[in-house]
Structure 1
């Protein structure tokens, strides 16, 4: 192909700008596999990637997009063949390696997961990095004692965003009955309930963090925002409970005392979806494609590359709901 379309982020003096441009294969980072991209999706990190000092992109110009689904068109690795459908999330893609906001992407072969049989390329990006992170969070909480048979009280923060909305739906689908959703705005209450929340609380109801130990409201917290919200919730986690943490939209600082940890034995569980070893990714995607598949009922908006700036602004201003996928 002579040229193809991509979102390109450039730095000019003290400004960062981005838009759709015509590029060619020379513009792509190195890798053993060339993929014709069918879909990508928008994640919080993608919004940061196009901001000045966003902390995501290291070198300019760069094609952003931290995930993609597509079809292999060339491969120098005999494990992968032309015409094979695949999904790629995380690693350095969209950061220091050209990413999924383009008609073609070239990636190292050890970043690739073959698309599961029960998942379309579109469905894969309905989940995308956000869904992969939600699934990883739930799996980690279950490894640390969260069990349907015990009817645990679960709270999901950022519940109408990318990770939170998928987490609510998976938790509801697999049988959890006491799922609370933390929201900030009134219009999010109905959305959270439609996604599977059995109760909704507003961030304003948390009050100030006054006590190192407070009423034991939740057995498990799936936190997607970090910062002050996570800090306020730690004193409310019940004895032996856990909080998974996967995001920093609410800030990177955490304020707590040792008391919830040494008197209630609670756990903070860090969730990293970027560098999960490739041999573990296939299992997670099979789980997503089968018993945890909520792609047909998920809150999804589909756009083109040209419509990306409007969605980026919505994410930046906290006005984005559910998942937005990009038809490349």
Structure 2
């Protein structure tokens, strides 16, 4: 079967070319299940793949798209049959195997999540990796003992995909939320829509004083940014609070001291949504379909395949706000 895909090519001189091409399903990666993709979400990792980032893109040519939701077309695995609605996030989809920016994908059955009956295909991709990563962050916070009674939780990068979902989920569970963004004026409207309790900018979440500890300003944090912002989240966290690390849009490096950990008992929790074990993955998707279900009015932009290039440029320039959803024709 022939189909359209947004494809990334790397030339011998290292330059990268991106274009929409016609492919055949016989060209797809190996796997037991062929899925016709209806929706896919655009993530920062997809933008890095589209840029040809060697630490993210595992092969060329490559169809990015680490998220996909659609219907099974063919399956050699008894767990799935033609017509089943399914979703996929993470693993090596869109990185080492062709992903959701093509109208078809072929994947291992072990990567597939049956679509919860309470979710539509579109809703699952409105969440996508961003919503799932936020849910995993909230899950780990609560499993570590974080409660609303402990005080407010800081969410950095709150105007982006993961951050906005983290704010919504924490509010859903009764937490007071401090939304942190790089600038107040640029993200004000987004933060208002998220209903965060307080909005702070770089001056409060990116400390450059050099002090090993700061006056406690939040009881926990979900950090999407990394680098010095993560270090600040740790230094200004109340004793026995928890901080999750799920992104590195500012930096992959972390320079701090042991004092937040040995003097304040703060816990740093790593979030790996790409390789999350399937039992937890299934549990979280059911949470998102039922008790944790949130709405994102005005924060989702739906685009066709032809709109990907412009959207990718916004991600690479760090100007994206909210969630971008690719809908295949």
Q: Same fold (TM over 0.5)?
A: yes
- 2:11 corresponding residue in structure 1: 12
Aligned counterparts of 1:85 and 1:52: Cα–Cα separation in 2:
31
Q: Scaled by the length of structure 2, what TM-score is found?
A: 0.96
- 1:196 corresponding residue in structure 2: 195
Aligned counterparts of 2:59 and 2:182: Cα–Cα separation in 1:
35
5 Å-filtered alignment, 1:115-194, equals 115-148=115-148, 150-176=149-175, 178-185=176-183, 186-194=185-193
1:34-66 deviation per Cα after TM superposition (whole angstroms, max 9, x unaligned): 001000010010010011435211211111100
Q: Is the 8 A contact 2:207 2:228 kept in 1?
A: no
Q: Is the 8 A contact 2:150 2:219 kept in 1?
A: no
Q: Is the 8 A contact 1:32 1:76 kept in 2?
A: yes
- 2:53 corresponding residue in structure 1: 53
| Shift, 1:279, TM fit | 2.4
Q: Is the 8 A contact 2:207 2:229 kept in 1?
A: no
1:121-168 deviation per Cα after TM superposition (whole angstroms, max 9, x unaligned): 0000000001000000000001112113x1521100000101001111
- 1:263 corresponding residue in structure 2: 263
| Shift, 1:22, TM fit | 0.3
Q: Is the 8 A contact 1:241 1:267 kept in 2?
A: yes
Consecutive unaligned residues of structure 1, counting only runs of 5 or more, are none
| Shift, 1:270, TM fit | 0.2
| Shift, 1:282, TM fit | 1.1
1:71 lines up with 2:87 in the alignment: no
Q: 1:327 to 1:159 in 2, by over 3 A?
A: same
Q: 1:295 to 1:125 in 2, by over 3 A?
A: farther
**Number of residues paired by the alignment?**
325
Aligned counterparts of 2:295 and 2:128: Cα–Cα separation in 1:
11
1:239-293 deviation per Cα after TM superposition (whole angstroms, max 9, x unaligned): 0111100001011110111111111111110000011122221111000011111
Aligned counterparts of 1:65 and 1:79: Cα–Cα separation in 2:
24
The runs of 4+ residues in structure 1 deviating greater than 6 Å are: none
| Shift, 1:18, TM fit | 1.1
| Shift, 1:92, TM fit | 0.6
Q: Scaled by the length of structure 1, what TM-score is found?
A: 0.96
Q: Is the 8 A contact 1:69 1:87 kept in 2?
A: yes
Q: Is the 8 A contact 1:35 1:106 kept in 2?
A: yes
Aligned counterparts of 2:313 and 2:54: Cα–Cα separation in 1:
14
Aligned counterparts of 2:193 and 2:57: Cα–Cα separation in 1:
35
- 1:106 corresponding residue in structure 2: 106
1:294-320 deviation per Cα after TM superposition (whole angstroms, max 9, x unaligned): 145361000011100111111111111
Aligned counterparts of 1:156 and 1:219: Cα–Cα separation in 2:
11
Q: Is the 8 A contact 1:123 1:295 kept in 2?
A: no
- 1:252 corresponding residue in structure 2: 252
Q: Is the 8 A contact 1:212 1:256 kept in 2?
A: yes
Q: Greater shift after overlay, 202-211 or 298-307?
A: 202-211
